[in-house]
Chain A
Amino acid sequence: MKKILTGNFAAAYGATMARVNVIAAYPITPQTTIVELLSEIVADGELDADFIKVESEHSALASCIGAQAAGARTFTATSAQGLALMHELIHWAARARLPIVLANVNRAMAPGWSIWADATDSISQRDTGWMQIYCENNQEVFDTILMSYKIGENEEVLLPTLVNLDAFFLSHTSQVVDIYDRKRVDSFLPPYNPKIKLDVEKPRAFGGLTSPENYYEFSYKIELSHQKAKQVIRDVGKEFGKIFGREYGLTESYMCDDAEFILIDYGTIAGTAKDAVDRMRKRGIRVGSLKIRYFRPFPEEEVREIAGKAASIGVIDRAISYGHSGPFFSEVKASLYGKTIPIYGFIAGLGGRDVSIREIESMVEYMQNNKPQNIVWIGVKR
């Protein structure tokens, strides 16, 4: 069934179709309509779940951790300040190996108060052990939530996932979203049935004092799961394509095969980049766009294979790691270590500043006429 949905509603329907058992969430602009729709869906009995209307984002994730550890499939959603408030529990959920799914509406961090798109909030959760995905459109938001449960709950993986969607550009923009039929979704995503959980028949203690003799191995196993997750992500993406007709991977390549210039991008900018590529191709410039879906685990192999063939690479970041560069830029550069391709780091659209097709074209023009730089500010008023 096709529906006209905002990104937030696509996220709420994703959680609904995933038949989550427990939702714990707190309102924050621009995520709020996810919480609103879900509370209505649960109250109407459309979804048999418990909705815990907590007093903070901090308790939202703490409640999800408790519920997921007890054997429930859980969902929460937040944005910017809310995600930052969750930070301690973000670490906790990953180290506890709980495949929670969190929809984060990418929003800039205060001060000054900004409710507009910026990926710095989720990038700041980089080293927590969560998988992180950036969505380009509302269909991808819906599909990604379904896939994230399947991937995270895989016994080789057992990790939580942050599903990111840009503030307003997706959260409040309506697009056509294909909501698949119940039966097919249920066969794709069976009920959550963890082997190990809080169980009164087989009591176990989770998270106790862990000496240097053991902590190191826990960390090692999380990294091992991230590496294994890459193949699980590719496999689940292919299976999803077979069942629902939309295939996904760690990255998405657009016109990259013969490209001289490859733009590496994520989130909604990836959509604009495709239009820019089309326009430049008409003028005879061989440009391609490689969209990175997964920031963690980082698709090093895909980046090397696809972008490694280009003559010049530009990375577009709607975030900045102060004192160095755009966060995706540094990962791309590290992935291409040993190659001699010039790589340009473009910072664009911070705090929700629009990134136009023309500006993306200007990045390629910059690459044609200048030496590579770690940071090239696009549209900044100096």
Chain B
Amino acid sequence: MSSDSTKKIKLTLPEEEVMSPGHLACQGCGAALAMRYALKGLGKKTIVSIPACCWAVIDGPFPYSAAGIPVQQCAFETAAATASGISHALSQLNMNDVVSLAWAGDGGTFDIGIQALSGAAERNDNIIYVVYDNEAYMNTGIQRSSATPHGAWTTTTPVKHYKKGRKKDIMQIMVAHHIPYCATASVAYPEDFIRKLKKAKQIKGTKFFHLLAPCPTGWKHPPDITIKIARLATETLVFPIYEVENGVYKLNRNVKNPKPVVEYLKLQGRFRHLGDEEIDYIQGVVNEKWNHLMKLIEAFGEN
């Protein structure tokens, strides 16, 4: 490649790689990509607390570590509390330029870790909390969590008894804590994620990210369409990309011509058993949630 042509390439992501290859994630893992992007956004002056979740393994076994930053592994339900402790230590030791990041899966956030997260948010401790949501307990082998969507197969919601009941709305729960910043993000839109992280870094208090991280192993899709699936989640309105800054809602990706939800579902083996009636029901739930978000944006948006 000539030097002329390299000049023409405009990088939309920071060039620096903090995380190294050689991690232990499955092929096409959304969570591995998410950390890579997160550290591009936050930089090396970050300490991460990782509870039991896929990333407890992805980082590598002792004495290896792929993150490239200090890693504190912590008990399943303690990501937020551990990150709070680190944040207060950093403040006491006059290291206020270092970010305390909590990095947990949906089980560690929606389920077992929600108490500690709620506590940290209520105290408005100075942390960035990212839940990389792969919609089930993937590290233990695909068991349902309260983030598993209606209709999904998991090993504890087998095909005949697939998950019935809606996914917990973690964003609404966190917005209700009146923390300064809540955002959704997706591995399909790294520029958006990195922009939001950079913004969060400048805000003092609790910053919460709900990030969608497809899991080829648990969602039963080929590893090379992780990004396509993540993008479809947004294009079908299943996973809207928005932020809530000091209570003000903003849609970050407008979807003018939403695709039917079936296009998202049909690519994933975990939804293969669903009939038309169930798919219609899921479409209805997605529409209802989207309309609810639009009303929130209308009522509590900018201007």
Contact = CB atoms under 8 A, between A and B. Distances in A.
Task: Determine if chain A interacts with chain B.
Answer: yes
A21 B94 CA distance: 11
Contacts of B75: 62, 88-89, 92
A200 B74 CA distance: 18
B61 A65 contact: no
Contact of B72 (A69, A72, A211): A69
B230 interface: no
A206 B93 contact: no
28 contacts: A50-B89, A52-B84, A53-B123, A54-B84, A56-B115, A56-B116, A59-B80, A59-B116, A62-B75, A63-B81, A66-B74, A72-B88, A89-B75, A92-B75, A198-B47, A198-B72, A200-B44, A200-B47, A200-B69, A203-B65, A203-B69, A203-B71, A207-B74, A208-B62, A209-B56, A209-B61, A209-B62, A214-B62
B73 A205 contact: yes
Given A200-B44, A200-B47, A214-B62, A24 B67 contact: no
B45 interface: yes
A94 to B, nearest CB: 13
B89 A206 contact: no
Contacts of A204: 65, 70-71
Contacts of A58: 77-78, 81, 115-116
Of B62, B78, B89, B91, most A-chain CB atoms within 10 Å? B89
A49 B92 CA distance: 7
A22 B57 contact: no
A72 B93 contact: yes
A205 B70 contact: yes
Interface of A: 21-22, 24, 48-50, 52-56, 58-60, 62-72, 74, 88-89, 92, 198-200, 203-211, 214
Interface residues of B, number: 46
A92 B82 CA distance: 12
A60 B72 CA distance: 16
Contact of A205 (B46, B71, B77, B122): B71
B70 A200 contact: yes
Given A58-B78, A208-B73, A72 B89 contact: yes
